[in-house]
Amino acid sequence: MTIHAEASENIAKTLRAIRSEGSRSGLAIKPDTSIDEYEQFSDLVDMFLIMTVEPGFGGQKFMSQMMEKVKATRKIIGDKPIWLQVDGGISLETIEIAVEAGADTFVAGSAVFKSEDPAHMVSSLRSLAQATSS
């Protein structure tokens, strides 16, 4: 279960509650929010989610400037077993950029659902991500 950092009054309490129910916990960070103030929660999350669009609706353009935040988050994670997910504008043109910045988990909405063959698109995205991370 992933929460938006900006929407929680007590992030630590919420993340602990999620884990206490046996679920993995994730913390989503919007584009205009710095990751630095959320580094303190790295022991309470199983995933950081860096939004690469403003949350709210699909089909937005990938914000490549968020890759600096992805890189900074990868440094925060270090060797901890924490996923680094990106969400927003992930496509055949952008997934490699996100992998190179340090992301290892992806949300691809419009690229999949607007494709003529969604299953093939998912397969292509996976292949690109795996090839880039090798």
- What pLDDT score was predicted for residue 133? 82
Q: What is the CATH number of the domain that holds 67?
A: 3.20.20.70
Query: What dihedral do alpha carbons 105, 110, 113, 116 form, nearest 10°?
Result: -110
DSSP 8-class letter at 92: T
Enclosing domain of residue 125: 2-133
Note the pLDDT tens digit of each residue in 81-121.
999 999 989 999 999 999 999 999 999 989 999 999 999 99
- Domains contained in the chain, number: 1
Report whether pLDDT(132) > 90: no
How far is the C-alpha of 41 from the C-alpha of 134, rounded, in Å?
Answer: 29
Contacts of 12 by beta carbon, 8 Å cutoff, 6+ apart: 41, 44
pTM: 0.92
